[in-house]
C-alpha cells in the first residue's frame, strides 16, 4: 500500500487577522509578524523533505509557501481550490460588524450550521466538499510522496475533520495556528492524523510593535468614485517602511486623505484634505463610511496604531488640482489616476487600502 504524507500549514498573520475581519477569498497580504512567521516556518521545516509544495493562490498563503519552496528549488503549485471559505458579503467586515448587521445569520455561523451561507457565499457543506476533493486529488497525484500544503484556517479545519473522522458540528480540540506544521496521511483510500500542532511549548513569533505603546494615528480618507465606477488614487512617495523599500517599492497609490490635526473630527479632516489634495469642495455632508481600519502601521521606521475611516464620495470625473500643499507635501505627491477595480486587481503597484478592488466592485454592484 502506498502512503502519502501531507504537511498542512496555515498562512502567517495578516492585519485582518488582528482586526478579526472576515478575509474569505479577499487577497490580503502578510503583515510584519506574518512575514516573520513565514521565515520561522521555513526554518522549522528546513530538514523536512518535500517532493511538492501546493498552495492556495491567495498571496498570504503563497508568500508563506515561497521561502520553503525556494529552499528546495520547487515551484509552488497554486490552486483556487485551496482558498478559504467564501463568506460572500461578510468579507471585509469584522466579526463585530457582522454580528451587529446580521445578528440572526451570525448565530448560524456560531453554531456551525452546515447548510447556512452568507449572501453570495459558500455553505460549510459546499466548502467541505471542495476541500475534501482537492486534498484527495493532491494525495492521489502525489501517491507515495511527502508534500506541503499551504492554505487557510478553514481549509485546515476540514483537513483535521477528514483525518479524525469528526463531523462538521463537533468542536475542534486544538486551534489552527498561523504558520505551524500539521501532518496527516492518506493510505489505501483512508485518511489518518499523524500530528496536530498545539500552542503549548511553541515559541511566540514577535512583531516589531510587541511591547510598545503605539501612538494613535487617526486618519480620514476619501474613496472617490466617478460615473464609470473608477476610484481616484493619488501617487505618493516617502514614508514607506523598510520592508516595502527592500521589495523595490519607492512610491505607492492611495485614496486622498490624511491624519487628523488637533481638534479636528474625521469629517473636518476629510474636507480639508480633499481641498488641499484635489481641489474638491464637498457640498453637504460627506458620504457614508464604507470601510475602517485599525491595526499597527509602519511610517518610516516608526510604528503607530492606524485608525482610519474611508468615506464614499461619488462625483463626476474631474482633474484634481492640489491646493495649499506644503513644500514637503508637494515633493511627496507625485500624481493621480482614475483606477478601475480590474486595473487595481491586475496591478503590481503598491496600492492601499488592502482589498480595494473588492470594495469598489461591491460599491458598484
Examine residue 203 and state whether it is found in any structural domain, yes or no: no
Examine residue 354 and state whether it is found in any structural domain, yes or no: yes
Sign of the torsion formed by the C-alpha atoms of 320, 348, 350 and 313: positive
| Rounded Cα gap, residues 145 and 50, in angstroms | 8
For 122, half-sphere exposure in the C-beta direction (CA atoms, 13 angstrom radius) is 16
**How many domains does the chain fold into?**
2
pTM tops 0.85: yes
Q: What CATH number corresponds to the domain at position 65?
A: 3.40.50.1240
Catalytic amino acids?
11, 84
Residue 235 has pLDDT above 90, yes or no: yes
* Same-domain status, 220 and 289: yes
For 120, half-sphere exposure in the C-beta direction (CA atoms, 13 angstrom radius) is 8
* Same-domain status, 238 and 317: yes
Confidence class of residue 1 from pLDDT cuts 50, 70 and 90? low
Q: What CATH number corresponds to the domain at position 250?
A: 3.90.79.10
* Same-domain status, 351 and 223: yes
* Same-domain status, 307 and 263: yes
* Same-domain status, 135 and 284: no
* Same-domain status, 67 and 114: yes
Examine residue 208 and state whether it is found in any structural domain, yes or no: no
Domain that holds residue 57: 3-195
Residue 237 has pLDDT above 70, yes or no: yes
**Residue at which a domain ends, from 163, 195, 227:** 195
* Same-domain status, 140 and 245: no
Examine residue 101 and state whether it is found in any structural domain, yes or no: yes
| Rounded Cα gap, residues 80 and 96, in angstroms | 28
Q: What is the β-pairing status of strands 52-56 and 146-151?
A: parallel
* Same-domain status, 130 and 101: yes
Give Cα separations from 234 to 131, 168, 257, 335, 358 (angstroms).
40, 46, 10, 6, 19
* Same-domain status, 24 and 166: yes
Q: Is 240 helix (H, G, I), strand (E, B) or coil?
A: coil
Residue 239 has pLDDT above 80, yes or no: no
Angle at 261 between CA 255 and CA 262, to 5 degrees: 155
Residue 245 has pLDDT above 70, yes or no: yes
pLDDT digits (tens, 9 = 90+) for 121-150: 999 999 999 999 999 999 999 999 999 999
Examine residue 139 and state whether it is found in any structural domain, yes or no: yes
- Residue at grid coordinates 517532493: 51
Amino acid at each position: 500500500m502506498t502512503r502519502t504524507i501531507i504537511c498542512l500549514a496555515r498562512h502567517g498573520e495578516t492585519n485582518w487577522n488582528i482586526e478579526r475581519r472576515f478575509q474569505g477569498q479577499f487577497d490580503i497580504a502578510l503583515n510584519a509578524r506574518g512575514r516573520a512567521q513565514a521565515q520561522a516556518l521555513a526554518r522549522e521545516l528546513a530538514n523536512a523533505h518535500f517532493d511538492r509544495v501546493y498552495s492556495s493562490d491567495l498571496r498570504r498563503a503563497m508568500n508563506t509557501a515561497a521561502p520553503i519552496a525556494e529552499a528546495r528549488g520547487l515551484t509552488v503549485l497554486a490552486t483556487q481550490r485551496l482558498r478559504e471559505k467564501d463568506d460572500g458579503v461578510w468579507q471585509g467586515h469584522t466579526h463585530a460588524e457582522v454580528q451587529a448587521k446580521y445578528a440572526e445569520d451570525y448565530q448560524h455561523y456560531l453554531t456551525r450550521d452546515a447548510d447556512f451561507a452568507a449572501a453570495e457565499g459558500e455553505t460549510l457543506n459546499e466548502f467541505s466538499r471542495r476541500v475534501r476533493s482537492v486534498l484527495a486529488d493532491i494525495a492521489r497525484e502525489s501517491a507515495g510522496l511527502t508534500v506541503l500544503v499551504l492554505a487557510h484556517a478553514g481549509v485546515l479545519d476540514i483537513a483535521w475533520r477528514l483525518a479524525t473522522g469528526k463531523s462538521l458540528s463537533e468542536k475542534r480540540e486544538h486551534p489552527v495556528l498561523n504558520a505551524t506544521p500539521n501532518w496527516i496521511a492518506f493510505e489505501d483510500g483512508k485518511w489518518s492524523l499523524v500530528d496536530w500542532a498545539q500552542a503549548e511549548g511553541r515559541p511566540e513569533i514577535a512583531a516589531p510593535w510587541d511591547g510598545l505603546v503605539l501612538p494613535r494615528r487617526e486618519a480620514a480618507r476619501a474613496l472617490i468614485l466617478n460615473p464609470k465606477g473608477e476610484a481616484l488614487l493619488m501617487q505618493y512617495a516617502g514614508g514607506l517602511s523598510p520592508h516595502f523599500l527592500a521589495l523595490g517599492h519607492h512610491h505607492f497609490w492611495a485614496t486622498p486623505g490624511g491624519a487628523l490635526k488637533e481638534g479636528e473630527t474625521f469629517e473636518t479632516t476629510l474636507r480639508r484634505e480633499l481641498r488641499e489634495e484635489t481641489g474638491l469642495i464637498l457640498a453637504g455632508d460627506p458620504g457614508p463610511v464604507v470601510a475602517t481600519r485599525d491595526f499597527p502601521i509602519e511610517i518610516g521606521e516608526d510604528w503607530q496604531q492606524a485608525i482610519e475611516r474611508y468615506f464614499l464620495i461619488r462625483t463626476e470625473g474631474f482633474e484634481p488640482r492640489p491646493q495649499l500643499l506644503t513644500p514637503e507635501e508637494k515633493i511627496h505627491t507625485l500624481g493621480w489616476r482614475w483606477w478601475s477595480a480590474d486595473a487595481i486587481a491586475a496591478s503590481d503597484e503598491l496600492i492601499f487600502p488592502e482589498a480595494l478592488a473588492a470594495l469598489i466592485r461591491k460599491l458598484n454592484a
